[in-house]
Chain A
Amino acid sequence: ELQLVESGGGLVQPGGSLRLSCAASGFTLSTYSMNWLRQAPGKGLEWISYISKTSGTIYYADSVKDRFTISRDNAENSLYLQMNSLRVEDTAVYYCATMGVTGFDDWGQGIMVAVSS
């Protein structure tokens, strides 16, 4: 069974950093492009980053560009999101998701990131 499990979330002060991980099991990560999305409290879903199967193509939403870095280690079957210069408005549940032909096919359960002083 395909499973994605996020980890690395928590409470951090504004300006701080966190690194999220997404561990894939039940399938080979290298067969999928991957994404990070998030949902702030009381808000809707927001796509924030995409990485192709071999890391050759990467995209970011303007809201996180130049602060967040997506990466992957196919040998470890893992996806990462390095988050620097965190802001209060980055507080959200963060999800990793596979990129199917047309949409976000499979999602993790999400991990909470809280940015507060």
Chain B
Amino acid sequence: DIHMTQSPSSLSASVGDRVTITCQASPDIMNYLNWYQHQPGKAPKLLIYDASNLKEGVPPRFSGSGSGTLFTFTIIGLQPEDIATYYCQQYYNLPYTFGQGTKLEIK
């Protein structure tokens, strides 16, 4: 199975901050990488697909980059409604696997 390692596991930041989450894949997954937002009590939401493409309707403060084994997810200008756990997920191979998640809190 492809192993996804996400860091940090938790993060506290202030409104307006830039937030960065890293996801490492083993082995190489090219750009077959998605990012999801999961808020408590809500359905998970796909934000970024193919490592760097913003899903329609997702605010442009969210972005993704990377390829191969190292990927980055960034929020520029953190908003209170961004409180959630964020997950990376690979679809290069079955079984589809997720990182362990990054819980984002507002200071």
Please list the residues of chain A having a beta carbon within 8 angstroms of any beta carbon in chain B: 4, 44-47, 50, 59, 61-62, 95, 97, 100-110
| Distance, CA A76 to CA B87, complexed state (A) | 32
Which residues of chain B (32-66) have a CB below 8 Å from chain A? 32, 34, 36, 38, 41-46, 49-50
| Distance, CA A104 to CA B5, complexed state (A) | 20
| Chain B residues positioned under 8 Å from A44 (CB to CB) | 87, 98-101
Point out the residue from A62, A95, A105 that lies within 8 Å of B95, measured CB to CB.
A62
**Whole-angstrom distance between the Cβ of A3 and the nearest chain B Cβ:** 10
* Contact indicator A102/B43 (Cβ below 8 Å): no
Which residues of chain B (81-107) have a CB below 8 Å from chain A? 87, 89, 91, 94-101
| Distance, CA A18 to CA B32, complexed state (A) | 34
**Whole-angstrom distance between the Cβ of B60 and the nearest chain A Cβ:** 19
| Chain A residues positioned under 8 Å from B94 (CB to CB) | 50, 59
| Chain A residues positioned under 8 Å from B45 (CB to CB) | 107
* Contact indicator B49/A102 (Cβ below 8 Å): yes
* Contact indicator B98/A102 (Cβ below 8 Å): no
Point out the residue from B42, B49, B95, B101 that lies within 8 Å of A103, measured CB to CB.
B49
| Chain B residues positioned under 8 Å from A62 (CB to CB) | 95
* Contact indicator A102/B95 (Cβ below 8 Å): no
The answer to whether A95 and B43 touch (CB under 8 A), given A47-B95, A103-B34, is yes
The answer to whether A102 and B34 touch (CB under 8 A), given A44-B98, A44-B100, A110-B43, is yes
Counting chain A CB atoms within 10 Å of each CB, the highest count among B38, B45, B95 belongs to: B95
Counting chain A CB atoms within 10 Å of each CB, the highest count among B43, B91, B100 belongs to: B43
**Whole-angstrom distance between the Cβ of A102 and the nearest chain B Cβ:** 4
* Contact indicator A109/B50 (Cβ below 8 Å): no
| Chain A residues positioned under 8 Å from B95 (CB to CB) | 47, 59, 61-62
